[in-house]
Amino acid sequence: MATEEDEQSSGFSLEGVDDVQDFVWGNEGESLDTGRYNHLYDLMKKGNKAFRDDRYEEAVHCYSKAHNIKPDDPVILSNRCAAYLRIGQFLKHRPASLSERRPLSGLDPTTHASLALKDAEQFMNLKNNSILAYILKANTLILLEKFELARDVILTGLQVDASSNALKKLEKFTANIFGKRNHGQTPRTDDFDCTVCLKLLYEPITTPCGHTFCRSCLFQSMDRGNRCPLCRTVLFISPRTCAISVTLKNIIERNFPAEYAERKLENDSLTNMGPDFLPLFVLDVVLPCQKFHLNIFEARYRLMVRRIMEGNRRMGMVILDSTTGSVADYACEVEITDCEPLPDGRFFLEVESRRRCRILRNWDQDGYRVAEIEWVQDLTPAEGTKERSDLQDMTDIVAEYARSWIRAAQEAARGDQMRLTELHKAEGLMPSTTDLESFSFWLATLTHRRPQERLDLLRIRDTTARLRRAYHFMKAEE
């Protein structure tokens, strides 16, 4: 579930970045020739117009091309930082329902905020007496939920200009955040901070090149390439084999127990949602006993998958109900059995569907949906009763029919490699006939059904009724 800080930060509005700076005409003795300087000026003019028209991706594109021409220009850096911030906030607060109607690909909000932070820091190095530098950096840190660092920047900025309304509003926001926390924690330096998330190291890992990061931060960074986030050394490590630095972890836990516990709670709230909560991937109706692949390209789902992979590797798959415009009332839990990060930031997943659940309520978290659910099972006859014996006999008979049906379907699909692969995969997933509920779902996966038919199968809590329906589907395809 979302933590209290998540709820606080979800109400955050950017301050002091409503507009960008105009690029002043004039070569100013630069080493650029007139033609390149004219091109630079045109790029900045085009980028500023795009920003003011709320076309932030186009603005970033223009500013980045300008940055390639003149890397150390403070106006270019501050304008691109502002555009990254606006994109990050837009993605973070974009309603899941809107994303379901019109999916977005590209970087996730955390990555945009991290890019904004790099520009803000470079801008601050060039203009350390500019109040805008403090405003930009404070906004990026709040968007990244690094509230302690944000407040330090805000207080330093107020020493530069005590009348800054933007910094005053940001200071009030962070004060509200700190008002929710317990005070009196042990003071510490940034020696124990992760240089990626800028928070206290959690589950620290020291790389072969000698740098230390939070475990999740390191492998999130390596999603985009197998290099050290700090020195860019190529790393040949994987999450499954890389060990946590136990000695450093113990030192941090012993010296900062409250803050480390808070980091653990924060991490757990994102990665292990608890037995009654599931992040939702809104796509289609899935039945238990299926195995398939997913290509994750949307920014919001990239973020969700990274969090899931740090936890129990499970999510719910659900469809939008066309009658209500919201998610359907039933979903199916799927487990990620294999996750391949691709160079462009996408994920190629292999998943297996496990069990169904009923959605009690759902809400938005960082652009994707999270649901409170209850697990659902069939109302099967008790062991030893005649009804149970009859159901078992029926299942055994249908199982024999299913085996012969699959053989006939494989023979008929001899020239259709895709269908043959599908049938072989389904045959390998066949559960034991003693698991009556699972077998009835598996039987229903053998034929192609419309989404509404699959949703009805999820809702049915009578194993016999589901067996009969699946059997009739198969007979109809003979």
Measured distance CA(134)–CA(151) in Å, rounded? 10
So what's the pLDDT on residue 3?
45
Report pLDDT for 182: 44
Q: Are residues 392 and 356 in the same domain?
A: no
If you search the block for the tokens 């020195």, which residue do you land on? 231
CA–CA distances in Å: residue 370 to residues 243, 313, 315: 31, 15, 9
What secondary structure, in 3-state letters, does the chain show?
CCCHHHHHHHCCCCCCCCCCCCCCCCCCCCCCCHHHHHHHHHHHHHHHHHHHCCCHHHHHHHHHHHHHHCCCCHHHHHHHHHHHHHHHHHHHHCCHHHHHHCCCECCCHHHHHHHHHHHHHHHHHHCCCCHHHHHHHHHHHHHCCCHHHHHHHHHHHHHHCCCCHHHHHHHHHHHHHHHCCCCCCCCCCHHHECCCCCCECCCEEECCCCCEEEHHHHHHHHHHCCECCCCCCECCCCCCCCCCCHHHHHHHHHHCHHHHHHHHHHHHHHHCCCCCEEEEEECCCCCCCCEEEEEECEHHHHHHHHHHHCCCCEEEEECECCCCCCECCEEEEEEEEEEEECCCCCEEEEEEEEEEEEEEEEEEECCEEEEEEEECCCCCCCCCCHHHHHHHHHHHHHHHHHHHHHHHHHHHCCCCHHHHHHHHHHHHCCCCCCCHHHHHHHHHCCCCCCHHHHHHHHHCCCHHHHHHHHHHHHHHCC
- How far is Cα 313 from Cα 182, in angstroms, rounded to an integer? 32
Is 90 in the same domain as 229?
A: no
Measure the CA–CA gap between 343 and 208, rounded to whole angstroms: 22
CA distance 45 to 476: 65
Q: What is the DSSP string of 33-83?
A: -HHHHHHHHHHHHHHHHHHHTT-HHHHHHHHHHHHHHSTT-HHHHHHHHHH
> What is the per-residue pLDDT for 239?
61
Q: How are the residues of the chain apportioned to helix, strand and coil, as percentages rounded to the nearest 5?
A: 50, 15, 35
For residue 422, give its domain range: 386-476
Helix (H, G, I), strand (E, B) or coil at 291: strand
Residue type, 264: K
CATH code where residue 110 lies:
1.25.40.10
| Residue 281, in any domain of the structure | yes
Contact 266, 3 (CB under 8 A): yes
Residue 269, domain member (yes or no): no
Determine the Cα–Cα distance for residues 333 and 352; give it in Å rounded to an integer.
9
Residue 75 lies in a domain: yes
pLDDT at 165 (0 to 100): 93
Q: Please report the pLDDT score of residue 7 as a whole number.
A: 43
Please check whether residue 380 lies inside any domain of the structure.
no
Q: Answer yes or no: is 360 within a domain.
A: yes
445 and 354 belong to one structural domain: no
State the pairing for strand pair 277-282/368-375: antiparallel
Same domain, 31 and 146: yes
Residues 204, 347, single domain; the answer is no
> How confident is the model at residue 27, as a pLDDT?
52
Q: What would the two tokens of residue 348 be?
A: 């190629």
153 and 62 part of one domain: yes
Q: Looking at the structure, do residues 172 and 205 belong to the same domain, yes or no?
A: no
Q: Are residues 36 and 148 in the same domain?
A: yes
Quote the CA–CA distance of 427 and 329 in Å, as a whole number.
Answer: 29
140 residue type, one letter: T
Residues 357 and 416 occupy one common structural domain: no
Q: What is the pLDDT of residue 187?
A: 53
Give the Cα separation of 132 and 116 in Å (integer): 13
CA distances from 4 to 70, 113, 237, 315 (A): 42, 21, 35, 22
- 43 and 136 co-located in one domain: yes
Residues of the chain with pLDDT under 70: 1-11, 25-31, 178-190, 223-225, 238-241, 269-275
Work out the number of other CB atoms within 10 angstroms of the CB of residue 356: 24
Q: How far apart are CA 445 and CA 429, in angstroms?
A: 10
Single out the residue in 325, 352, 375 at which a domain terminates.
375
> For the chain, what's the residue count?
478
In this structure, the answer to whether residues 66 and 95 fall within a common structural domain is yes
Quick check: is 352 in a domain?
Answer: yes
Per-residue confidence (pLDDT) for residue 126, from 0 to 100: 92
Confirm whether 267 is domain-assigned: no
Q: Are residues 98 and 30 in the same domain?
A: yes
Convert the pLDDT of each residue in 264-295 to its tens digit: 888 776 655 556 889 999 999 999 999 999 99
* Residue 265 counted as domain residue: no
